[in-house]
């Protein structure tokens, strides 16, 4: 019997897997520098946390959750996203009683039973950041700038920022009613008509041409914002511009989760086809209350690690080999193996990336392994070198070879490691 990774999942394998690590690191680095602390929450939670937090009428809750009953009879769900878990943890640990905002970042696996296709998986990876407990447009702008800086640090040039405001509990109901009025007058199928009644904003996101064609005159949320929401949004836009971040206003931007209020945004990459969102987020001022907590106005984002690697690939950025080895040790014979082993250990302890030939292959096989490893140098040790107390350091690109005394190899390689 043989096995394959389940549908909609895949394995990150070397050397490509290095890019997943690079992306996780790069996307979280700006948030870490901005005072966001690391949080890790369980991969599964009470089902009700997501059905209430993410929104009963979202696709995620109605169709995409991996829900199971534990042996103890409790309904649990593999997390489809991170925000509800972070809010749950903040409430559980009473952090809202301390200094605000609470700034947290995370990274991990998320699970959605989606129709699998390129860039859309059932198991995927996100880096996220959340700032909880403060209603300050500078926080919304900060998070957006941090995400854009993360993408830029990877060399990505094609990430576009779409920006919108969804209003608040004061102005959203009137907009929702106006939108419903408009949508009820359209020629829609039964499922979509039902959606108009439950979650009319999602209809704006319908991708079918026959629906799209009818949506041209739909009322826009930005025309229905109250004074406070309008001023808040203007402030966010001004701060983004001041920080040199370009954005596109998109009054039709709708997110796939129900908890959003005011600022919403998405990061798109045009090299990815249909699944073009490499990240997204927004403000969720009511979520804490929805899951039984106090008022805790908050904002955050999650960036897709898998799709960001795909975006880098689309821009031709995966050519360089990430984290290549500095050296590859080739012992010529048993005695050399015994001698080179402590040298390799010493080099690694000194912070150098070093591998060696295993399995007692002949010189040819070992040199081939050295070439394939991508290392810059081969460290070749034969009987004559042992007698001389030296090792041959061969530059694998040029073929130049020098004998370096064993006691000086660390210094020699460190000098070349710049």
Residues lying near ligand HAM in the complex (CB under 6 A): 81-83, 112, 114, 120-121, 124, 126, 128, 130, 256-257, 277-282, 284, 300-302, 304, 306-307
- Considering the complex, what minimum distance in angstroms separates the CB of residue 284 from ligand HAM? 6
Strand order in the sheet with 261-269: 37-38, 102-111, 123-132, 298-304, 277-283, 261-269, 159-165, 248-249
| Shortest separation between residue 290's beta carbon and ligand HAM, angstroms | 14
> In 224-371, which ranges are E strands?
248-249, 261-269, 277-283, 298-304, 327-331, 354-356
Backbone region of residue 178 per phi and psi (left: phi > 0; alpha: psi in -120 to 50; beta: other values): alpha
Judged by CB, which is closer to ligand HAM: 61, or 393?
61
Nearer to ligand HAM, 283 or 394 (CB): 283
CB of 304 to ligand HAM, least distance (A): 2
Judged by beta carbon, residue 143 or residue 179, the one nearer ligand HAM is: 143
Nearer of residues 96 and 124 to ligand HAM, judged by Cβ = 124
C-beta of 307: minimal distance to ligand HAM in Å?
4
CB of 321 to ligand HAM, least distance (A): 25
Alpha-carbon distances, residue 414 vs 323, 349, 354, 378 (angstroms): 15, 12, 12, 15
**Between 79 and 376, CB nearer to ligand HAM:** 79
Q: Which is nearer to ligand HAM, 27 or 239 (CB)?
A: 27
The sign of the dihedral angle between the CA atoms of 143, 292, 176, 225 is negative
The C-alpha atoms of residue 118 and residue 109 are separated, in whole angstroms, by: 18
Q: Which is nearer to ligand HAM, 107 or 392 (CB)?
A: 107
Residues 6+ apart with CB under 8 A from 172: 166, 221, 261
CB 252, min distance to ligand HAM, A:
16
Look up residue 59 and give its two tokens.
């696709």
Q: Which is nearer to ligand HAM, 41 or 180 (CB)?
A: 41
Question: Is residue 82 within 8 Å of 120, Cβ to Cβ?
Answer: no
Which one, 87 or 225, has the nearer CB to ligand HAM?
87
d(CA 36, CA 280): 18
Contact 354, 328 (CB under 8 A): yes
- 39 burial via Cβ count (<10 Å: 0-12, 13-18, 19+): buried
Q: Identify whether the C-beta of residue 40 lies closer than 8 Å to the C-beta of residue 106.
A: yes
CB of 383 to ligand HAM, least distance (A): 55
**Quick one: 137 or 282, whose CB is closer to ligand HAM?**
282
**Which sign does the torsion angle of CA 88, 56, 256, 176 carry?**
negative
Q: Which residue is nearest to ligand HAM (CB)?
A: 304
> Could you tell me the smallest distance in angstroms from the CB atom of residue 22 to ligand HAM?
16
Tell me how far, at minimum, the Cβ of 305 lies from ligand HAM, in Å.
Answer: 8
Cα–Cα distances in angstroms (integers) from residue 63 to residues 59, 191, 279, in the given order:
5, 14, 21
The closest alpha carbon to 108, from 11, 40, 33, belongs to 40
Q: How far is the CB of 277 from ligand HAM (least distance, A)?
A: 4
Between CA 221 and CA 127 the distance in angstroms is 29
- The neighbour count for residue 14, using CB atoms within 10 Å, is 8
């Amino acid at each position: 019997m043989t096995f394959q990774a389940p549908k909609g999942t895949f394995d990150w394998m070397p050397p490509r897997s290095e890019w997943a690590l690079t992306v996780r690191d790069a996307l979280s680095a700006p948030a870490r520098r901005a005072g966001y602390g690391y949080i890790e929450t369980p991969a599964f939670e009470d089902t009700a946390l997501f059905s209430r937090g993410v929104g009963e009428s979202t696709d995620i809750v109605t169709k995409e959750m991996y829900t199971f009953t534990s042996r103890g009879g409790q309904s649990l769900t593999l997390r489809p996203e991170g925000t509800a878990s972070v809010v749950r943890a903040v409430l559980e640990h009473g952090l809202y009683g301390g200094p605000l905002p609470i700034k947290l970042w995370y990274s991990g696996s998320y699970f959605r039973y989606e129709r699998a296709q390129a860039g859309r998986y059932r198991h995927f990876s996100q880096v996220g950041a959340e700032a909880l407990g403060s209603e300050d447009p500078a926080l919304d702008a900060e998070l957006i700038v941090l995400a854009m800086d993360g993408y830029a640090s990877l060399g990505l040039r094609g990430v576009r920022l779409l920006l919108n405001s969804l209003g608040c509990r004061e102005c959203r109901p009137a907009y929702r009613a106006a939108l419903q009025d408009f949508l009820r007058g359209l020629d829609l199928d039964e499922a979509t008509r039902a959606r108009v009644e439950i979650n009319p904003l999602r209809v704006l996101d319908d991708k079918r041409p026959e629906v799209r064609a009818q949506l041209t005159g739909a009322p826009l949320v930005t025309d229905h914002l109250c004074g406070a929401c309008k001023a808040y949004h203007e402030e966010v836009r001004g701060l983004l511009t001041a920080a040199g971040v370009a954005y596109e206003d998109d009054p039709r931007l709708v997110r796939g989760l129900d908890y959003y209020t005011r600022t919403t945004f998405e990061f798109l990459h045009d090299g990815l086809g249909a699944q073009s969102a490499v990240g997204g987020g927004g403000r969720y001022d009511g979520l804490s209350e929805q899951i039984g907590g106090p008022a805790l106005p908050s904002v955050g984002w999650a960036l897709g690690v898998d799709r960001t690697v795909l975006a880098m690939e689309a821009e031709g950025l995966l050519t360089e080999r990430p984290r290549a080895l500095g050296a590859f040790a080739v012992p010529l014979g048993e005695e050399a193996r015994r001698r080179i082993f402590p040298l390799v250990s010493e080099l690694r302890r000194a912070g150098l990336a070093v591998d060696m030939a295993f399995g007692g292959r002949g010189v040819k096989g070992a040199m081939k392994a050295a070439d394939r490893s991508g290392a810059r140098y081969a460290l070749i040790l034969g009987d004559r070198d042992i007698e001389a107390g030296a090792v041959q350091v061969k530059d694998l690109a040029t073929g130049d070879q020098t004998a370096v005394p064993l006691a000086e190899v660390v210094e020699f390689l460190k000098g070349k490691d710049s």
